[in-house]
Amino acid sequence: MANLVLDNVKKSFGAVEVIPGVDLDIKDGEFVVFVGPSGCGKSTLLRLIAGLEDVSDGDIRIDDDSVVNVPAADRGVAMVFQSYALYPHMTVRENLSFGLENIRMAKPEIERRVGDAARLLQIEQLLERRPKQLSGGQRQRVAIGRAITRDPKIFLFDEPLSNLDAELRVLMRVEITRLHERLGNTMIYVTHDQIEAMTMADKIVVLRGGIIEQYGAPLDLYNNPHNLFVAGFIGSPRMNFVEGKLTEIAETGSTFEAPGLPPMQLPGKIASTAKVGEAVTLGIRPEDFSVAREETGGWPVSIGVTEQYGANSYLHGTLPGDIPVLIHEAGQSTARRGDTLYVKARENHWHLFGADGLALAHR
């Protein structure tokens, strides 16, 4: 059980600066997910915490003790690797006990810990098998089990579900969440899959180019993205973006105009930093449009492909000027290719970003 502080942590490989400086404060017992596109430095950050890479500058503190000069094995962290990294020539039991034998733990204690972990993960019947004889999900459990036997302060997961098929992934997602509830340890989890991030995290860290773009609770990120990147990255399908400018600002609603489109009313409060005439990007999530079949003053969307999921429908359309727009409708949509729908923004369900990419409210 421990909190973790990253203090201006930097990492470069030769001349390449992978992490230009990260500050982060993770509280005891939190489940934190690092998410970002590939190459954003999330795995590097995790490996720095694990001690598998040395920091170039800055400090890492676990329980207020600096660990930058402590070898990986002695940091009190355990890691579940992307490939699981199970020792292929050892049985599951040997895999679980290898680390404990290395620190010369007493045999009965090893037995007890391995037994506990196996029971917790329901892999007792697999203990004498070798990794090759296990399914992907079972290997995953063994890898987690190996981490559990070490009784670490902090669990680190490096994209642990990326090698599983879609169905198993959903299952393991729930299981890891449950495990966290049971053990209550601090856990740090790296993924590029924002759905995993949304569903599992207490807090999400969105990373890009080694920089934290936003840090907060999942729905907070969803509802109040700090910038264009987070807005585009969190949420699936992606938020729609239209570039234009503000032509009117008022207490109850403002007006947004884009070339070739009728003015769009944005009902609700607007950030005080907004200025008339400013070039901005309007972001509206697919489910946040109010959609009409008749001309009622909204933007006309000409419908192309319609994706019918049964419970939901996604309509791919274009605005005049070939701006792509995705619209979500609950249930089964009656719209067909070639139809024109008219969309408006709903009150407070829109986002404005300035020319610098930052949300107007966060400048």
Using the rule CB under 8 A, which residue among 68, 85, 261, 271 binds other proteins?
85
Candidate segments 16-24, 79-87, 236-244, 314-322, binder of other proteins by CB under 8 A: 79-87
Q: Which residues contact 103 (CB under 8 A, 6 or more apart)?
A: none
Using the rule CB under 8 A, which residue among 4, 19, 33, 77 binds other proteins?
77
Q: List alpha helices for the chain, DSSP H.
A: 42-50, 92-102, 107-121, 136-149, 166-183, 194-200, 218-223, 228-233
Whole-angstrom Cα distance, residue 240 to residue 284? 5
Amino acid at 99: G
Dihedral Cα 299, 303, 308, 311, nearest 10 deg: 20
Closest approach, Cβ 137 to other proteins, in A, equals 19
Residue 6 is inside which H or E element, if any?
A: strand 4-13
Residue 48 makes contact with other proteins by CB under 8 A: no
Residue 148 or 231 with smaller CB distance to other proteins: 148
Neighbour tally for 146: CB within 10 Å: 26
Using the rule CB under 8 A, which residue among 79, 161, 234, 359 binds other proteins?
79
Using the rule CB under 8 A, which residue among 103, 171, 250, 276 binds other proteins?
103
Using the rule CB under 8 A, which residue among 71, 108, 277, 338 binds other proteins?
71
* Number of residues in contact with other proteins under rule CB under 8 A: 23
Q: Give the single-character DSSP code of 183.
A: H
Closest approach, Cβ 77 to other proteins, in A, equals 8
Residue 21 or 136 with smaller CB distance to other proteins: 136
Candidate segments 18-26, 94-102, 245-253, 350-358, binder of other proteins by CB under 8 A: 94-102
Candidate segments 58-66, 82-90, 276-284, 324-332, binder of other proteins by CB under 8 A: 82-90
Comparing C-alpha atoms, which of 260, 246, 250 is closest to residue 354?
246
Helix axes 136-149, 92-102, angle to 10 degrees: 20
Per the CB < 8 A criterion, the answer to whether 285 and 350 are in contact is no
Residue 99 makes contact with other proteins by CB under 8 A: yes
Residue 12 makes contact with other proteins by CB under 8 A: no
Whole-angstrom Cα distance, residue 93 to residue 178? 23
Using the rule CB under 8 A, which residue among 69, 102, 125, 272 binds other proteins?
102
Residue 41 zone, left/alpha/beta (φ > 0; ψ -120 to 50; rest) = left
Residue 37 makes contact with other proteins by CB under 8 A: no
Within 135-154, the residues that bind other proteins by CB under 8 A are 146, 150
Q: Which spans of this chain sit near other proteins (rule: CB under 8 A)?
A: 50-52, 71-74, 77-79, 81-83, 85, 87-89, 98-99, 102-103, 146, 150
